[in-house]
């Protein structure tokens, strides 16, 4: 193998590694927020967080039980909307609601 082909091979490998590294998502740190009580809309059951959480970081606890996104609620921005089966539970002022997230 000639010097030029070795150099070309090394260059190709270096570029490939750089492309793989550049395309790899990285965990971004943010401020963790714990034990927030979201504001309740008692007419609709929609909850509102004081901040917009980073995607995929919100955790909602209803009466001490963790609820699951898409299965129990949807989230868009700072608004948490219950699925139809949970509307009465989310709008009941006696229900203890707590959220954790990263902003």
Contact 102, 57 (CB under 8 A): yes
pLDDT at 36: 96
Identify each DSSP E strand in 23-72 by its residue range.
32-36, 39-40, 47-48, 59-62, 65-67
Sequential DSSP letters for 4-18: HHHHHHHHHHHHHHH
Range of the domain at 78: 32-102
Q: State the total domains in the chain.
A: 1
Q: Helices then strands (H, E): number in the chain? A: 2, 8
- Any domain includes 48: yes
> Distance between CA atoms of 70 and 3, rounded to whole angstroms?
57
What percent of the chain has pLDDT above 90? 70
In a domain, residue 91? The reply is yes
Q: What is the pTM of this model?
A: 0.71
Six-digit token string for 30: 């943010």
Asked if residue 21 is part of any domain, the answer here is: no
27-49: pLDDT as tens digits? 557 899 999 999 999 999 999 99
In a domain, 2, yes or no: no
Query: Do the domain assignments include residue 70?
Result: yes
Dihedral sign, Cα of residue 69, residue 70, residue 75, residue 79: negative
Does residue 23 sit within a domain? no
Domain presence at residue 6? no
What pLDDT was estimated at residue 29? 74
- 60 pLDDT exceeds 80? yes
Across residues 12-41, what is the average pLDDT?
A: 76
């Amino acid at each position: 193998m000639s010097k030029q082909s070795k150099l070309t091979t090394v260059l190709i490998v270096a570029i490939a590694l750089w492309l793989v590294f550049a395309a790899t998502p990285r965990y971004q740190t943010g401020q963790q927020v714990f034990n927030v009580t979201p504001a309740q809309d008692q007419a609709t059951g929609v909850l509102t967080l004081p901040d917009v959480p980073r995607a995929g970081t919100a955790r909602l606890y209803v009466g001490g039980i963790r609820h699951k996104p898409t299965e129990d609620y949807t989230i868009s921005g700072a608004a948490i909307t219950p699925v139809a089966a949970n509307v009465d539970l989310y709008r009941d002022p006696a229900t203890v609601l707590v959220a954790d997230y990263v902003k």
